[in-house]
Amino acid sequence: MKTIKRIYLGLILLFLYIPIAVLIIQSFNAGESRAKWEGFSFIWYGKLFEDPNIMNALWITVSIAVLAALFSTILGTLAAIGIHAMRKRPQALMLTLNNIPMTMPDIVTGISLMLLFIFTKVERGYVTMLLAHITFDVPYVILSVMPKLQQMNKNSYEAALDLGATPMYALFHVILPEVMPGVITGAMLAFTLSLDDFTISYFTTSPLVQNLSTLIYSQARKGIKPTMNALSALMFVVLLVLLLLVNKRTDKQEQ
């Protein structure tokens, strides 16, 4: 019985990991064939950097992730501080609204933002994608900062004001240092989610401005080329490492 159980678990894990493992191994295959191993090589990775479309998409992806993380961290940290100090009812309302982008399926969030841009006659492209990314990032920043605020001494902000600090001074010298670990986790999470996103980007950008995910999607519809394998493998590893780091931080903070 024990062996059967172990075999069963092993099979399920194989099912979960084989496709990814095969994809990564194939990306190092020197030949174009998916079946025959023609030696280890970085040739497809080299080709990635020669493809102007991919480099363009890489630039868009990374710059949007950095900007979205920056803006959403500022917006989210301030919002968390504000929401934390709210009275019960407005606080509950804000937390519910904050939950909307997280609970809605991505396709609905993407489409609703797309309708906003169509309705306001804004041409979809780089800026609309950035705005969409900030929108879905902020709730996660708030969720990272909120627990730190709850751990904080409630009166230290008021004490600082009583001792003559301006609210801005108190914000930067009393609240922020205390919640900094949460802010950093939030920023990392925002950056990763922005790199990770496909669906919302897909609906809020035009085919002319593509990030890596939408590029991979449009290429994959025509069949998978070895360079796409290499790109997927690369993205895959980067995203996984980032998320592992973020989750490790979150776990540590919870303890």
Partner 1 sequence: MTDFHVPVWGYWMMGLGFAAFVALLISYIHKNRGFRRPIFASPYVLWIIVFTVIPCLLVAYFSFTDPQGNFTFDNFKNFWDSNFNARKAMDPELIRQYEDMGLTLNDLGLSRDSINIDTLVFSLWMAFLCTVICLLLGYPAAHIMADREFKLGPTLVILFIVPMWMNFLLRTIAMMSLLEDNGLINSVLEMIGVGRQKLLNNLAAVQLGMVYNFLPFMVFPIYNVLNKMDYKLSEAAMDLGCDKWQTFYKVTLPLSVPGVVSGITMVFMPAVTTFYISRLLGGGKVQLFGDLIEAKFLSTSLNEWNVGSALSLIMMILILASLGLLRKVDPEGEGGGIV
Q: Under rule CB under 8 A, which residues in 47-66 are in contact with partner 1?
A: 56, 59-60
Q: Name residues contacting partner 1, limited to 228-247 (CB under 8 A).
A: 228-229, 232, 235-236, 239-240, 243-244, 247
> Looking at beta carbons, which pairs linking 16-22 to residues 24 or more positions away fall under 8 Å?
20/236
Q: Which of 28, 48, 62, 126: binder of partner 1 (CB under 8 A)?
A: 126
Query: Contact region for partner 1 (CB under 8 A) — 43-51, 107-115, 179-187?
Result: 107-115
Nearer to partner 1, 49 or 119 (CB): 119
Residue 176 as a binder of partner 1 (CB under 8 A): the answer is no
Q: Which of 86, 92, 159, 180: binder of partner 1 (CB under 8 A)?
A: 86
Going 214 to 216 to 221 to 222, the CA torsion angle's sign is positive
Which residue bears the tokens 């001074």? 169
Q: Which of 3, 50, 88, 105: binder of partner 1 (CB under 8 A)?
A: 105
Q: Are 165 and 216 in contact (CB under 8 A)?
A: no
Return the closest-CA partner of residue 78 out of 15, 149, 27: 149
Residue 107 as a binder of partner 1 (CB under 8 A): the answer is yes
The half-sphere exposure of 50 on its side-chain side, counting CA atoms within 13 A, is 6
Residue 150 as a binder of partner 1 (CB under 8 A): the answer is no
**What is the radius of gyration, based on Cα positions, of the chain?**
22
Rounded to 5°, the CA angle 101-104-107 comes to 100
Residues in the chain: 255
Residue 82 as a binder of partner 1 (CB under 8 A): the answer is yes
Query: Contact region for partner 1 (CB under 8 A) — 41-49, 100-108, 179-187?
Result: 100-108
Binding residues for partner 1, how many (CB under 8 A)? Answer: 98
198 burial via Cβ count (<10 Å: 0-12, 13-18, 19+): middle
Residue 22 as a binder of partner 1 (CB under 8 A): the answer is yes
